[in-house]
Structure 1
C-alpha cells in the first residue's frame, strides 16, 4: 500500500481556529517497505477561489478568480544521495500560527475559502508524483469597521396626492456597527408621520455578497434573512412615535474581509411600508459581523524537535486586476477613471437644498486609483436593484445620514 498517514489536530472547544492562535497536532505515518522519496513535507496553506457563469448559449460567459493567502511549510525528510527511507512507523508533532488579515473559511456555490494542513510524500519517479494527504482547518478571521459608533442615519419620504403633499421622516441611531455572531444590532427610531395615512416600520438584516472576478466583473447577491425580520404596529397619521428595535444576528453569520475575490457584507435595513398607491421607502446601512482582534507580537512556535517552519504571506492588492495581462487592467482602470470623472461632473451639477453637493457634504476626494476602485465598489453596492412588489422603491424618497461628530443631512445619489 506504500504509506499510511494520519493528521491528528488538537481541536479547539468550538472546532474553529482564530487569527493569532496556533494549530498544533501530530503527524503519524508508516511505511511498509524501503521507499525512495524526494522529500516529505507538511504545510499549512490558505486559498480562495470563485467561479460563476452568466448568459445562455452563445452568450454564456464564465468568470473566475483565485487567491493564495499564505503558505507555511516544514520539511520532515530530505534524503542524502540515493538514500531510501526504511520501513517503520514515524511520528512528528507540528505547530502553525494562524496569520492575521486573512478571511474566514467560507463555502457556497460560487466561492470557496479554505485552509488545510497538507502532507506530501514526493517521489523521484518520473510518472509518480507521490502521495498527498490533507485535512481542513476551519478558520475565523478578524474583522473591522471604519464607521464611527454610534451612527445616526434616517430617511425622508414625500407622499404626493391630488390634494396635497405630505412627508414621513425617520431618524435612527444604531449603537454598534460591528457585533459578534449572535449579538443584536440595537436601533432607536423616531418616526414623524406628517401624512394622512398609517404606516408600518420594518427592520431586517440583509446579506450583501459581492463576488469579484479576475477582470473586475462582479456578481452581487442580496438576500433578506427571514429570522431577522420584524414589523412595528401601525403608526397613526399625524403622529410622532419612538421605537426601540433589535435586529438579531445568527451565530453562523460572519463578514468576509481581507480577500479580493469576495466582499462578504451585511446590511441593516429600515423600511417604511406605506399603503397603496404609495411606494415604500427604505435605507440600508452596512454593518459587520465578526470578532475584533489585535495582532500580537510574533511568537515562533516551539521547536518540538521539528524542522523550522517557513512562512510565506502573499502581498494583497484588492484592486480589480487581471493577473495574466497588465494591459487589460490599465485599459480597464482608464475606463473607470473616465466614467468616474463624467459621473462626478454630472453629480455636481445638481445641489441639494442646502446648496451642497453629495461630494462636498462629505468632503470626498478621489485622488488615486485605490480610491477610484472603492468608489466604483460603493456604486455597485448601492445601485443593486430589487424587485418592487410594493416592497421597496425610493423613486421620490430622500435618504439622510447624520454623523454624531456634526449633524449633517445628505441627499444620496440614486
Structure 2
C-alpha cells in the first residue's frame, strides 16, 4: 500500500504522560497514488504482555496479556469505500488517558530457573482499511511513555509492627521467645529515597543473639491463573550487632535503608504486582528457626493529589473538525 505516515505529538519526544492527561497531536500521511479506504481509525492503546519460560531456554512459554486503554476514534467508515487522490493529508487527534492505569513498565529477570518478561506499553495507532474480500489494512504506531504515581494504602505517619518468636526447648522452664518491635517513620517512600526504622529487640532466651539482619526486599507476584511463581530480590541489606547476651536483655537498633532509583510499587496491573518489604531478622543459633518480622512499605511518587491542571483539550468533534459538513483534512 502506497502510504507514508508519521504521528506527531504536541509534547516533547521525552514527555511522560500522566493518567487523566490528554494525548494530542497530528497524524500526517502521504498517498503516492489514488487509494480507496473503507475505514480509518485513530486509537489510543495501552496493553501489557507477560511471558514466563520455565527453562530459560528457547522452549514454549506461558503468555498472557491484558488491555488497559482502548480508545478508538472512527475517522472514516464506508463499506463501499471513499477514494482519496494522491497527496498529503492531516488528521488532528486528542484522546484522554484513564486515571486507573499502571505506568509504563519493562521488567526482565532470570530467577530460580524462570525467565520472566513483563511489559506495559502505550501507543497511538492509525489504521487504514481498504475494501475488498481480503480486507487489506495497514497500521502505523507511535509509542508514548506513561508515568503514574501510586495511591498510598499504608500510613504516612510512624507506625509500629510487632511479632514474637516462641522457641521450643527441652528441659527449659518459663517462656523462651524473641520479641521484635519495628517502627517505620513513613511507610510511603519516594523512588530513590530512604526509609528509616527503629527496632526494639527483647531476648527472653538463654541464647546470645549476636546478629540482627535488616534488608529491603522486592516481591514480584505473578497473578495469572496458570502461573504461581513469586520472585524475590534483595535490594539492600545490613547486619547489626546487638547487645543481647542473656535472658531479659533488650536493645534498640536504628537503621536507614536506601531505596533504588528504579524501584516503585506497581499498582493497577491485572497480571503482576510488585511490592516492597523490610525484613528484620534476629539470627538464632543453628537448628533454631530465626525470628523474622516482615514490614510492608510502598515506593513511588504520590502524585494523586498533585495532578497538574492543564489547558482543557479540544473536544473530539473540534479536534477532528467534524462539526463541518466537509472536514478540511479531506480537502
Q: What TM-score does the superposition give when structure 2 sets the normalisation length?
A: 0.77
Q: 1:179 corresponds to which residue? A: 189
| Partner residue, 1:315 | none
Q: Residue deviations 1:84-131, cap 9 Å, x none?
A: 111222233433222111122223334332211111111113325221
Structure 1 pair 27–14 and aligned structure 2 pair: CA distance change class (3 A): closer
State the 1:300 CA deviation. 6.0
**Which residue does the alignment assign to 2:67?**
68
Cα distance change on mapping 1:61 and 1:280 into 2, 3 Å: farther
**Which residue number corresponds to residue 159 of structure 2?**
151
Residue aligning to 1:131? 138
Give the Cα–Cα distance (whole angstroms) in 1 for the partners of residues 271 and 128 of structure 2: 31
| Structure 1 pair 33–193 and aligned structure 2 pair: CA distance change class (3 A) | same
Q: Which has the higher helix share?
A: 1
User: Residues 298, 218 of structure 1: CA spacing in aligned structure 2 closer, same or farther, 3 A cutoff?
Assistant: farther
- C-alpha change, 1:125 and 1:250, in structure 2 (3 Å) is farther
Alpha-carbon distance in structure 2 between the residues aligned to 1:22 and 1:150: 37
Question: Could you say which residue in structure 1 is the equivalent of 2:313?
Answer: 301
The count of residues paired between Structure 1 and Structure 2 equals: 302
Pairing of 1:233-382 with structure 2 (within 5 A): 233-238=241-246, 239-292=249-302, 293-294=304-305, 301-303=313-315, 305-307=318-320
Is the contact between residue 199 and residue 275 of structure 1 (CA under 8 Å) also seen in structure 2? Answer: no
| Contact in 1 for aligned 2:209/2:282 (Cα 8 Å) | no
Shift of 1:297: 9.5
Aligned residues of 1:74 and 1:308 also touching (Cα < 8 A): no
User: Residue 27 of structure 2 corresponds to which residue in structure 1?
Assistant: 27
* Cα distance change, pair 77–290 in 1 and its aligned pair in 2 (3 A): same
Instruction: Output the TM-score relative to the length of structure 1.
Output: 0.63
Deviation at 1:202, TM superposition (A): 1.7
Asked if the contact 2:278–2:297 (Cα under 8 Å) also holds between the matched residues in 1, the reply is yes
- Where is the strand percentage greater, Structure 1 or Structure 2? 2
2:240 paired residue number: 232
Identify unmatched segments of 5+ residues in structure 2: 108-115, 323-331
Give the deviation of 1:185 after TM superposition: 2.2
Q: Could you tell me which residue of structure 2 aligns to residue 107 of structure 1?
A: 106
Cα gap change, 1:200 to 1:24, in 2 (>3 Å): farther
Change (3 A) 1:224 1:274: farther
In structure 2, the CA distance between the partners of 1:151 and 1:14, relative to structure 1 (3 Å rule), is farther
Residues 26/82 of structure 1: CA separation in 2 closer, same or farther (3 Å cut): closer
Residue ranges of structure 1 left out of the alignment (5+ in a row): 310-414
Distance 1:11 1:188 in 2: 45
Q: 1:168 to 1:83 in 2, by over 3 A?
A: closer
Alpha-carbon separation, structure 2, partners of 1:129 and 1:283 = 60
* Aligned equivalent of 1:219: 228
